[in-house]
Amino acid sequence: MIIQLESSITDEQRDALKAQVSALKYKTNDVKTQKGEYIIGIGKKQFDVRNIGHLPGIKDIHIVSDDFKLVSRKWKVNRTTIDLGDGVLIGNGHFAMMAGPCSIEGEENIQKTIDHLKANDVKIMRGGVYKPRSSPYSFRGMGIDGLKMWHEAAKAAGIKIVTEVMQVSQIAEMYDYVDIFQVGARNTQNFNLLDELGKVDKAVMIKRGISGTIDELLYSAEYVFSGGNENLLLCERGIRTYEKASRNTFDINAIPILKEKTHLPVIADPSHGIGIRDHVEPVALAATVAGADGVIFEIHDKPQEAFSDGQQTLDFEESARLINKMRALTEMSI
Amino acid sequence: MIIQLESSITDEQRDALKAQVSALKYKTNDVKTQKGEYIIGIGKKQFDVRNIGHLPGIKDIHIVSDDFKLVSRKWKVNRTTIDLGDGVLIGNGHFAMMAGPCSIEGEENIQKTIDHLKANDVKIMRGGVYKPRSSPYSFRGMGIDGLKMWHEAAKAAGIKIVTEVMQVSQIAEMYDYVDIFQVGARNTQNFNLLDELGKVDKAVMIKRGISGTIDELLYSAEYVFSGGNENLLLCERGIRTYEKASRNTFDINAIPILKEKTHLPVIADPSHGIGIRDHVEPVALAATVAGADGVIFEIHDKPQEAFSDGQQTLDFEESARLINKMRALTEMSI
Amino acid sequence: MIIQLESSITDEQRDALKAQVSALKYKTNDVKTQKGEYIIGIGKKQFDVRNIGHLPGIKDIHIVSDDFKLVSRKWKVNRTTIDLGDGVLIGNGHFAMMAGPCSIEGEENIQKTIDHLKANDVKIMRGGVYKPRSSPYSFRGMGIDGLKMWHEAAKAAGIKIVTEVMQVSQIAEMYDYVDIFQVGARNTQNFNLLDELGKVDKAVMIKRGISGTIDELLYSAEYVFSGGNENLLLCERGIRTYEKASRNTFDINAIPILKEKTHLPVIADPSHGIGIRDHVEPVALAATVAGADGVIFEIHDKPQEAFSDGQQTLDFEESARLINKMRALTEMSI
Amino acid sequence: MIIQLESSITDEQRDALKAQVSALKYKTNDVKTQKGEYIIGIGKKQFDVRNIGHLPGIKDIHIVSDDFKLVSRKWKVNRTTIDLGDGVLIGNGHFAMMAGPCSIEGEENIQKTIDHLKANDVKIMRGGVYKPRSSPYSFRGMGIDGLKMWHEAAKAAGIKIVTEVMQVSQIAEMYDYVDIFQVGARNTQNFNLLDELGKVDKAVMIKRGISGTIDELLYSAEYVFSGGNENLLLCERGIRTYEKASRNTFDINAIPILKEKTHLPVIADPSHGIGIRDHVEPVALAATVAGADGVIFEIHDKPQEAFSDGQQTLDFEESARLINKMRALTEMSI
């Protein structure tokens, strides 16, 4: 049960309300976000909401049968729009493209990528400065200095930044230089990280776990939302299966299923979803017509020279073609 | 290695050629199909094809490094077109829609479905008369009598029939009433069935195994082709994964990967691929833009009354809408 | 619902009973096996069994909530013993070892294997004469002639034969030479083959599908049992997962779960279950202590020269050691 | 390549050695653990180790072709023993049992569990004080206060503690009260956590990821080892598959494969591995005979009243029986 509170609610009213809910054997959780205040009631037996509905300070009450509550579309039918500022919107009809290298590599690569994005009217750049790597001996990214360099160039060009945060201690140092904090597929159930991102007033994009279920992704989003941050995006990036002809199995089904279950925007990552450069485009187009609110993909001016995973990276010509095709699909009315 | 033979080759020439290939430590397999004659050479060490290229009776020689040979696009770059007669073509630019009930149920349902297909200019009707069922106590389909009834109505309307054949003994009795023999997901590696379908001059559509790999699907097609039948289609219908939010995980990646690996047409089955009526459309559209040569989907005038699996079955209104959208996508040039 | 009939039941009594069950809106299925006669009632609403319990000709009535009925342990608590004759028993305390080559290769290999089995007091020999192969160009086994040769040697030595049957037409020709018909992992849901094996009075061992569920395996067994054949064994042989360090993932959980769900004997196949020669032994021992009724494994006097899959094949020394260890484990009382 | 250094090596010798290795185009990584000092050389081309082998300060040089190095058995054939003090050893012939509740619940439950362990001569107690939970509204454990209470009772009884650490900031506060830091299945690839645990001189047990590969588990261990901590255990706890008859699929294959690949002890968790109380025992026994160095399992004096997951929790009678059987198996010589 979600009880939306009036912004004018007094402390006494809130206490009285919580007491009443507790009396009905429901556990209460206080949630206060950038956009509103809620009490989440968790309990087993249904009761007549009229028992509390008359109390002052309540804006609305919603029965949500899912175990995730605030991210469910069962209480919030209107789709969420993420506003990154400067007119950059994601979701609820605003299709977002996010492109950039796997890893931020240096000034020259940053600038070339930004120029390409500008030329193609793409507003958000992706790139890693903290890289999760299976082996401790691999390059782990340029770190905060790389992020600062990137941010300077991106800001000058009016480009927004999405990049992965790997641990709690990085949040504060990254805060000023990031527009969307990305939670990677290996951290989808890093609950402490999610807790902390709930306290931040910046957009957060959570990738589905390497073999995470759709419901687990929604629960992870519930952590951030209930922690206080409504600015959330979800990202389908392929799941691990027995099939080895592709790096992962992009779960196209997840797009319409997520869109039915949640009001949050859903982004597709075809680069990791298939992991084969020549086939990133068809998967991106498929996700677009299946209802994704955006696509994030890897590009590089010289893919074969890119750090790690050049094999799923588009060059700028391929990128421009894909951007045009996605735009054509989102603009057609079928 | 695939050696394409001239139709004018003499027996002596063929014998001499095979002797020469055998002398190079290659095992030879004779293949004679509706469209041509081939010798497949299987061996380990590469040799100089000029050692045999000068022999009379040879049209062309292709080195194919894949373990599947005749279905590989490495020797046949041009895409295969399946011709069902009466101008009904599949593949190589001809997008095919196939729709109908899960099971053939009786005259009224058949006629209503045909009327719907005609009204929407769809040329191929699907439906099961032999139904593979997990439980021996379930309805197993109307059998050959149902097929004959269906065929009579379909023929009168100019509609082609695709339906599943489950065992060798059914091939002969079904032959006159079927346009495409479908091999179901539980029979993808029923090699005896595939062998026999190689001897038949009718189109065969092989569904990917329930957790079959893309390569296994291609090997299964190789059975039919090398048995003598080139009229082959492949069908992606979702794979079994840990995710339970959908019936199967439709492997959108398989569409571009198959299109790269083989010259055969690739059909998508979104009904089984996601198994949720409300989401069949986005998956069908996704497969369409990803490059599928056709889509097969379940429809029924009253889905909730359909035999088994009504939950993934579109009604006629949903079907008409989907058909129009797929048509719009295949006609746009992006 | 399973109604066990008295052997003395008259046709009139049977008809009256079925009429009564049908009147209660239950569909009836007649089952007559080597061991008894049953009526399987399939329906949704539970009813008071006293409504039929008084009718003559009934031995017992069992409510079985599972969708599989005759193979369920819910009606038959006593475990089934398979009797191959000559004192060779499997199940219900009789631990069975089955060993032999992947493929039957010829007289010499047969005799060496038999000598090894005799020396180690193993009563059942495995081996393939019809081999399911992914590629049509691979060796497909010695066929019926190989089986006859094998049978002659095995019979002389008092060794029983388990071998795969791939299609309906092979059953009759193989019948006289086989003690256990094996249904392979690619044919677990070849329902026509299962139907026909129900009509045969020979033991049948069904392997779990390549990614079959435990329930699907039980349903497949239900096909054979309800077709008339109670002499059934099930075989866990590993499932397909994302893990590539082993050929398959042997599902040790399946052993106790199957033993709880069914009264049929459960055999383990560690050779395919892990697919790595050095590790066949620990998996075999694990299955033994987990409650398997037997173990089937691949051996060869010269594993590296065996047809296909020598990499999971034990030599005779390794085989003898494994046999001794399994024997020690089954004989200890923990 | 692993270069083991003499403890007497001088800084000059170390610098000269690293310069020489770098000159051979190998990247060097300094590793200093509780037990020794190593230089890890990462490079592509093999070179003649005699080029460096003569340099002073080198104890031994090992070529390790795996991508994980220090945890590989290719350089350290002798198995690692973990010494928890007071004679509690794990690995290299010392079989360890670890039992306790899912979550630490309070004094009474702690004491009852300790009494049971003492009575059965089990030296290590498991239990969670920080619980990773899918839903933010679930109980997340008693935290540090619960750990302190537990530690007091355990210390008095001579029982060692294994418990999960979820984030970097918890390491310091937990340090004095923990004998083995457990890294949970959702944190197997939380590389920052692994980095920090490398700096700690306490044993660390890493659980395999929910759908982690065997190699990924070894890479994660490499993080901790190369960070400076050799006191490592690995834990197989079941993987996520399509099979829903069990909570996870316990990967019995992983036991012998891990034992071949690494010198570290391998622990089995049958409770999560199958997730069904009645079947925990057979899976535990299976893991024991397959070569596991220990078993960790959930017990509770009243399983049905345990926090979360009582369904996989043994009562004390079942626990005692299992302990005896495991002991019998480890003591028999087969």
- Rounded to the nearest integer, the mean pLDDT of chain A is 95
Interface of A with B in 205-244 (CB under 8 A): 211, 213-215, 239, 241-244
For domain B82-333, give the CATH number: 3.20.20.70
Interface of A with B in 238-257 (CB under 8 A): 239, 241-246, 249-257
Q: What is the pLDDT of residue A320?
A: 98
Within an 8 Å CB–CB cutoff, is residue C186 touching chain D? no
Cα–Cα distance between C68 and D245 in angstroms, integer?
15
Side chain identity, residue C157:
A
- Asked whether D31 and D40 are in contact (CB, 8 A), the reply is yes
Mind telling me how many Å the CA of B117 is from chain C's nearest CA?
Answer: 32
Q: What is the mean pLDDT of residues B27-36?
A: 94
Given an 8 Å threshold on Cβ–Cβ distance, is B244 in contact with D244?
Answer: yes
Q: What residues does each domain of chain D span?
A: 2-62, 82-333
The verdict on domain D2-62 having CATH code 3.30.70 is yes
Residues of A in contact with C241 (CB under 8 A): 242
pTM of the full structure:
0.96
Q: Do A241 and C242 touch (CB under 8 A)?
A: yes
Verify whether the Cβ–Cβ distance D191 to A227 is below 8 Å: no
C2-62 and C82-333 share one fold = no
- pLDDT number for residue C314: 97
pLDDT of residue B309: 66
- pLDDT, tens digit (0-9, with 9 covering 90-100), for A184-210: 999 999 999 999 999 999 999 999 999
Secondary structure in 3-state letters for chain C: CEEEECCCCCHHHHHHHHHHHHHCCCEEEEEECCCCEEEEEECCCCCCCHHHHCCCCEEEEECCCCCCCCCECCCCCCCCCEECCCCCEEECCECEEEEECCECCCHHHHHHHHHHHHHCCCCEEECECCCCCCCCCCCCCCHHHHHHHHHHHHHHHCCEEEEECCCHHHHHHHHHHCCEEEECCCCCCCHHHHHHHCCCCCEEEEECCCCCCHHHHHHHHHHHHHHCCCCEEEEECCECCCCCCCCCECECCHHHHHHHHECCCEEECHHHHHCCHHHHHHHHHHHHHCCCCEEEEEECCCHHHCCCCHHHCECHHHHHHHHHHHHHHHHCCC
pLDDT of residue A47: 76
Name which residue leads in pLDDT, B270 or A48.
Answer: B270
How many angstroms separate the CA atoms of B122 and B107, rounded?
19
Q: Using CB atoms, which chains have 3+ pairs under 8 A with B?
A: A, C, D
Q: Phi then psi for D161, rounded to 5 degrees? A: -115, 130
Task: Tell me if C238 sits within 8 A of C268, measured CB to CB.
Answer: no
Give the tens place of pLDDT for each residue, C89-123. 999 999 999 999 999 999 999 999 999 999 999 99
As a whole number, mean pLDDT of residues C5-23 equals 94
pLDDT of residue B53: 86
D67 interfacial to chain C (CB closer than 8 Å): no
From chain D, pick out residues whose CB is under 8 angstroms from the CB of C279: 253, 256-257, 260
What's chain C's average pLDDT?
95
Record: contact B283-A256, CB cut-off 8 A = yes
Question: D289-308 burial string, b = 16+ CB within 10 Å, else e?
Answer: bbbbbbbbbbbbbebeebbe
Confidence of residue B104 (pLDDT cuts 50, 70, 90): very high
Distance CA D177, CA D162 (A): 10
Between chains, do D215 and C334 touch, taking CB under 8 Å as contact?
no
Q: CA A143 to CA A128: how far, in whole Å?
A: 9
Contact A222 D135 (CB under 8 A): yes
User: In terms of DSSP bridges, do strands B124-126 and D180-183 run parallel, antiparallel, or are they unpaired?
Assistant: unpaired
Question: In the prediction, which pLDDT does A66 show?
Answer: 84
Contact between A291 and B273 using a beta-carbon 8 Å cutoff: no
Say yes or no for a CB contact (<8 Å) between A167 and D168: yes
- Which chain A positions have a beta carbon within 8 Å of C244's beta carbon? 244
Per residue in B175-190, pLDDT (tens digit) is 999 999 999 999 999 9
Chains near C with 3+ CB pairs less than 8 A apart are A, B, D
Task: Report the alpha-carbon distance of residue A262 to residue A291 in Å, rounded.
Answer: 13
Mean pLDDT confidence for B269-273: 98
State the Cα angle at D286 between D285 and D291, rounded to 5°.
100
A273 touches chain B (CB under 8 A): yes
A191: closest CA among D179, D139, C24, C103? D139
For residue range A95-143, what is the model confidence (pLDDT) as tens digits?
Answer: 999 999 999 999 999 999 999 999 999 999 999 999 999 899 988 999 9
Chain D residue nearest residue B244, CA to CA: D242
Among A53-62, B182-191, C276-285, the minimum mean pLDDT is found in: A53-62
pLDDT category of residue C309 using cuts at 50, 70 and 90: low
- Identify the pLDDT of residue B151: 98
pLDDT beyond 70 at D118: yes
* Nearest residue to C231 via CA among C257, C205, C254, C249: C205
Q: How far is it, in rounded angstroms, from Cα B209 to Cα B185?
A: 4
In 3-state terms, what secondary structure has residue A73?
coil
- The answer, yes or no, to whether residue D96 has pLDDT greater than 70, is yes
Instruction: With CB atoms and an 8 Å threshold, state whether B260 touches A279.
Output: yes
Kindly indicate whether the ipTM for this predicted assembly is greater than 0.90, answering yes or no.
Answer: yes
